[in-house]
Structure 1
């Protein structure tokens, strides 16, 4: 497993180099930038940012700057992009996927969280992961992975371990990279009871500024 640490604050003016490798599976959790009503949440972190806003937890990047990332350069001709999208920006999520050279196909995962966030319409307690295709679908080993997953929210914006495991189950031999990693340990494992557990394998490369060894 290769870890490439970047400073996301540099993305606005210049992108750091992506790996000089090709991957069949791209797994991304873009640091979406959108307006937040910080005045509603008075509690601040040490930097003076609201603890209930994304800007209080990690640096965000504009849609246009995200589109400048040359994801095609690290994508095999036949590859998939699994990408988390925040609910208010589904349209922008599909547009970003297309800008990176992938055709939106469907929703891969729906993550039901154990707590809810405020919303303008309904309380938000689910997050979706889109999947897009470039060329043909890489050969799958598992055809029984479920779309719905329920897992406890851990670190802010850290995505469920089940997503990694299900992708691994489907594409165990494919080279994979996680973009904008936010702290899933390379040693992480998922206990499913009855003395069985799954762990993240060594076919993942990691690119981000919050990597945990």
Structure 2
């Protein structure tokens, strides 16, 4: 019988996550200017700026003392992104601008760019010093970021670095990645910092079920 190959999102969660990661990569579901009829709120749950900042304890614990942080921001959340980086314990070093092949929506100017803020903590030198501050990449599904971002991270932070993607919606097409998100089976848990995803609740249910079974058998 023919067994079709597993697509990236169908792969099971990894069980070999390190205690801390060399790279944190995040695309928060910002609620700023995203609650209208055409906003991202029509596609997924949103977080306020304070809720995004509240991830700081988790990010500081999950990021290695010497590590890199990549944070996606929109044109509307560019300044907020700097505040989030600081709240998460990182220093912004440079924005990387994604130039899109066509413009999209915008309240004032029509958006044709998004930005990936690059930050560092501790001593974490880059591996590749010829990366420009822009990339030209096609538009994908709503809010899906370009695959080129993974290639940039591999060049700048190292292909062998351990990398965690927060708010992931699919499995990265690159090695040494772990994921956490509401639309994918997560490899890590942020439940103890107050940020559950469905898989966290599933693990809780399994734990409670096991306790009940042991009590019944006892």
TM-score, normalised with respect to structure 2: 0.71
Q: 1:36 to 1:204 in 2, by over 3 A?
A: closer
Structure 1's unaligned 5+ residue stretches are 5-18, 39-49, 189-199
Give yes or no for contact 1:2–1:206 (8 Å, CA) kept in 2: no
Larger fraction in helix: 2
**Hey, what's the Cα distance between the residues in 2 that align with 1:118 and 1:139?**
34
Change (3 A) 1:30 1:60: same
- CA 60–23 in structure 1, closer or farther in 2 if over 3 Å, else same: same
Higher RCO, Cα 8 Å, sep 6+: 1
* Offset at residue 147 of structure 1 (A): 2.5
CA distance in 1, matches of 2:161, 2:71: 17
**Which residue does the alignment assign to 2:163?**
176
Structure 1 residues 123, 22: closer, same or farther in 2, change over 3 A?
same
Structure 1 CA distance for aligned equivalents of residues 54 and 152 of structure 2: 29
**TM-score where L is the length of structure 1:** 0.72
1:53/1:181 CA distance change after superposition, 3 Å: same
Counterparts of residues 55-134 of structure 1 (less than 5 Å): 55-69=41-55, 70-107=58-95, 109-134=96-121
Structure having the higher strand fraction is: 1
What secondary structure sits across from 1:76 in the alignment?
Answer: strand
How many residues in Structure 1 have an aligned counterpart in Structure 2? Answer: 171
Q: 1:53 to 1:21 in 2, by over 3 A?
A: same
